[in-house]
Amino acid sequence: MSAIFVTGAGTDIGKTFVACGLVAELRRRCRAVAAFKPLVSGFDPAHAPASDPGALLAALGEPVSPANLDRIAPFRYRAALAPDMAAAAEGKSVDFDAVVAFSRRAMIAADRVIIEGVGGVMSPITERHTVIDWIAALGVPALLISGTYLGAQTHALTALAALQRRSVAVHAVVASETTGSTVSLSENMRSLARFTAPVPVVAIPRLAPGVAHPAFAALADLFCSTPTHVR
Could you confirm whether 37 is annotated as catalytic? yes
Q: How far is CA 57 from CA 34, 37, 52, 109, 225, in A?
A: 9, 10, 9, 15, 25
Q: How far is CA 164 from CA 142, 156, 159, 160, 223, in A?
A: 10, 12, 9, 6, 18
- Contact between 34 and 108 under an 8 Å Cβ cutoff? The reply is no
User: What residues does 115 pair with on adjacent strands?
Assistant: 5, 36
Instruction: State how far the Cα of 17 lies from the Cα of 148, in Å rounded to an integer.
Output: 15
**62: nearest Cα among 24, 104, 108, 112:** 24
| Residues in Cβ contact with 173 at an 8 Å cutoff, skipping those fewer than 6 apart | 144, 146, 156, 160, 192, 196, 199, 200, 201, 202
Among 24, 25, 37, 75, the active-site one is 37
Q: How far is CA 191 from CA 60, 84, 89, 93, 198, in A?
A: 34, 35, 41, 40, 14
- Contact between 51 and 44 under an 8 Å Cβ cutoff? The reply is yes
Q: Any idea which residues carry the catalytic annotation?
A: 37
